[in-house]
Chains A and B, each alone.
Chain A
């Protein structure tokens, strides 16, 4: 292979900070021509940030970006486009108000002039046919009216379309998250075919199987750094899991306790997902920690939201007999109030209880926040500081304080440890256990299999339904993974 083609991209010592949070710490990373690099790591390990740097949508604070053998100054999206680097981001980057063909045109400035619509249609349909035979997508369909899986297919296919600009590298960030296993297989085998023609790919996936089976080389990220790298054949599942680290399960919950609770304490929640066809339902008793497992986005959050709504109004199939509080995992969109202080953010769930007479008492609010600052160790010099002055982990602690400081006896957790450092996790696990022993019930959706070891009982989800119901003593990561992939009939 010619030397010039060897290194498509190289990142040297790239660093990136978001406020107090260090997202990337001196990362060195490279991709050769015609190889598929698998990138793995826990949530918040820095994979997406690294890819944004590569795609030109984020500028690193420090470090060099070398593409096609040349260091690139002022590297940004336009340059990435010209140099043939494409990215399929986790958040869908299609315009929902445009048709499939029009979205294809967005990526290709050269599709213009008379008959552009026909050419764009032909381009995207051809690529869809090539990648996903039998896809059933019409180029004239509005993207906003396609199902999420079809949208992902369009987006991935669009990234591989070629007109005048060259195509050297396609970054696939969780490309299979909304695809069924058949379509995911079609996509991954296409990746292998295209890599054989000399195009490079970076594949990010939570499914280690996909990474192990379809990449040539694997890079493992942890806490913003690349901690391991090597040929795919040198790794196996366990090796990857160990390298990713973060197996912060804490002490395992004793089995006897779990069994005892089921028998003796009253039921707090009974809930069935909206799409559940059989009689399976989620049941949670007082003092239990219930895990919601399965692949990300398979209906766990939806069920938590149903239960949350069910506490305030009647919803068929949901029965809640306790006050409820929710701890969001997506802090920015579901959790924090960015204009408020830490104390106000903690107090908001309890404002009714913080009143003296009709008015909210700043004194009571301050005391509540101080009490929880001590219990959960929120690291800040002053609780009156803006919530955004905290690091991500501490922001998450404030959200825990908000829920646990309220009168709620039922706490719903929507994958709350996303992007949280290990130290924080261990502290919070202890707290959850202590609160459960005090009689609170926790429903805990987590995308990290190790966290399930903290649970008394686990429900596994697939395609919006509960497909397995595992007791503490039946629980193992293999069981969960195995259940996650069972086809739903």
Chain B
């Protein structure tokens, strides 16, 4: 018997148990999104149209971007509690300085990304828990947002407004945007060679360190990326709402965490998925519309998000348990 046939013989039983479980887990976020869309289509077929989807998914874009930001942080086993107020801060900058004094505006936003990079360095070098540091940043960003824009107001730069209200042919803009975001981040984090190192540092930091990679650089990179996507999220949000408010992104912290988890991400171990995260964010956004169509009072909007999160986690727990038994 040749070694080839021996190895393929050994492969068969492995695949029989492993693939369905991995496949099921990977399919779960998409499945839940499909269910929500089907539900909406069932209740109101007209909603699943170009304009309907455009309307329903519009606000999903900033949520998806914030979720991606959170995902970078979660990939290296940290948590960013400040992303929501950071989005507010960016929104306030965008609706004021970015319009009136673009250079200053851009400089401030770049500074915000720099602060994120610095946070990554501090968290790594001082070995402090990210929840507490970002909790402090929660207050800092909110304070800055209020200082910049004490009262709701401001106006989005024209180009930003135009960009976010762009009409793509055939496929609604939010869907195109979501696809682009998911694929770009997927290529960077999941397919690039340095992306493997970044993810590996979430799975086994000391192994990455022992192989000679700088864990400091990795942490800084991931936090800076979170800053970049936080900025994009704030910009997208202001492009849609046209005016800002110092509390505009407050809910994004919890939404982004929920989105990452819904998308199949794990809290520790570097197991996250950009495509899943975007799908998770869209699912959470659409859940609200579904409830509207079901004539469930808007009171239960947040509750439904919680329920979806719990149902998905329960499904995952079941899959994991049966998978555990099989292998």
A and B touch in the complex (CB under 8 A): yes
Map CB proximity to B onto A83-98 as digits: 1 under 8 Å, 0 otherwise.
Answer: 0000101000111111
Chain B residues, Cβ within 8 Å of A141 = 14, 18
Within 8 A of B (CB), among A131-163: 133-136, 138, 141-142, 144-145
**Complex partner residue of B11 from A78, A136, A145, CB under 8 angstroms:** A136
Question: Which of B201-209, B219-227, B238-246, B303-311 touches A?
Answer: B201-209
Which B residues are CB-close (under 8 A) to A94?
A: 204, 207
One of B3, B7, B199, B212 near A95 (C-beta < 8 A): B199
Work out how many contacts link A and B, with CB atoms closer than 8 A: 89
Of the candidates A77, A89, A144, the one whose C-beta lies within 8 Å of that of B212 is: A77
Q: Do B11 and A106 touch (CB < 8 A)?
A: no
A96-B203, A111-B193 given; A129·B3 CB < 8 A: yes
Q: Is A265 on the interface with B (CB-CB < 8 A)?
A: no
State how many angstroms separate the Cβ of A111 from the closest Cβ of chain B: 6
Q: Which of B179-219 contact A (CB under 8 A)?
A: 191, 193-194, 196-197, 199-204, 206-213
Does B22 lie within 8 Å of A145, measured CB to CB?
yes
- Closest A residue to B271 by CB, please name it: A97
The size bracket of the interface on B is 20 to 34
Q: With contacts A106-B207, A109-B212, A117-B191 known, is A98 near B10, CB below 8 A?
A: no
Chain A, residue nearest B272 (CB): A97
Task: Using A95-B201, A105-B197 as known contacts, list a sample of 5 further A-B pairs with CB atoms less than 8 Å apart, ordered by residue number in A.
Answer: A77-B212, A87-B210, A96-B204, A98-B199, A136-B8
Majority SS at the chain B contact face: helix
Q: Is A309 an interface residue (CB 8 A)?
A: no
Chain B 1-34 per-residue mask, 1 if CB under 8 angstroms from chain A, else 0? 0010011111100100010001000000000000
- Chain A residues, CB < 8 A from B209: 77
A134 CA / B193 CA spacing, docked (Å): 28
List residues of chain A with CB under 8 Å of any chain B CB. Answer: 55, 57, 77-78, 81, 87, 89, 93-98, 102-103, 105-107, 109, 111-113, 116-117, 129, 133-136, 138, 141-142, 144-145
Are B11 and A95 in contact, CB atoms less than 8 angstroms apart?
A: no
B interface residues with partner A (beta carbon < 8 Å): 3, 6-11, 14, 18, 22, 191, 193-194, 196-197, 199-204, 206-213, 269-271, 327
Which residues of chain A are within 8 angstroms of B210 by Cβ–Cβ distance? Answer: 55, 57, 77, 87, 89, 93
The answer to whether B200 touches A97 (Cβ under 8 A) is yes
What 6 A-B pairs are tightest by C-beta distance, nearest first? A136-B10, A97-B203, A134-B6, A95-B203, A95-B200, A93-B207
A144–B323 CA distance with the chains assembled, in angstroms: 13
Please give, as numbers and ranges, the residues of chain A lying within 8 Å of B206 by CB-CB distance: 93
* 12 A–B contacts from the bound complex (CB under 8 Å): A93-B204, A95-B207, A98-B203, A106-B200, A106-B208, A111-B193, A116-B193, A129-B3, A134-B6, A134-B7, A136-B10, A136-B14
A105 vs B200: C-alpha distance when bound (angstroms): 11
Which listed residue, B3, B14, B202, B211, touches A97 by the CB 8 Å rule? Answer: B202
Contact present for B269 and A97 (CB under 8 Å): yes
Docked Cα-Cα span, A81 to B210, in Å, equals 9
- Smallest Cβ distance from A51 to chain B, in angstroms? 12
Please state if B193 and A107 are interface contacts (CB–CB under 8 Å): no
In the assembled complex, the CB of A162 is this many whole angstroms from the nearest CB of chain B, namely: 15
- How far, in angstroms, from A133 to B6 measured CA to CA in the complex? 9
A133 & B3 in contact (Cβ 8 Å cutoff):
yes
Most buried by B among A81, A96, A98: A98
Within the complex, what minimum Cβ distance (angstroms) separates A196 from chain B? 22
A133 to B11, CA, bound (A): 13
Residues of B within 8 A of A95 (CB): 199-201, 203-204, 207-208, 270
Q: How near does chain B come to A37, taking the closest CB pair, in angstroms?
A: 21
Closest B residue to A56 using CB positions: B210
A331 to B204, CA, bound (A): 22
- Considering the chains assembled together, what is the distance between the CA atoms of A136 and B200 in angstroms? 23
On whether the beta carbons of B193 and A105 are closer than 8 Å, the reply is yes
Tell whether, in the assembled complex, residue A103 and residue B200 are in contact, meaning their CB atoms are under 8 Å apart: yes
The 8 Å CB contact of A106, one of B7, B9, B196, B202, is B196
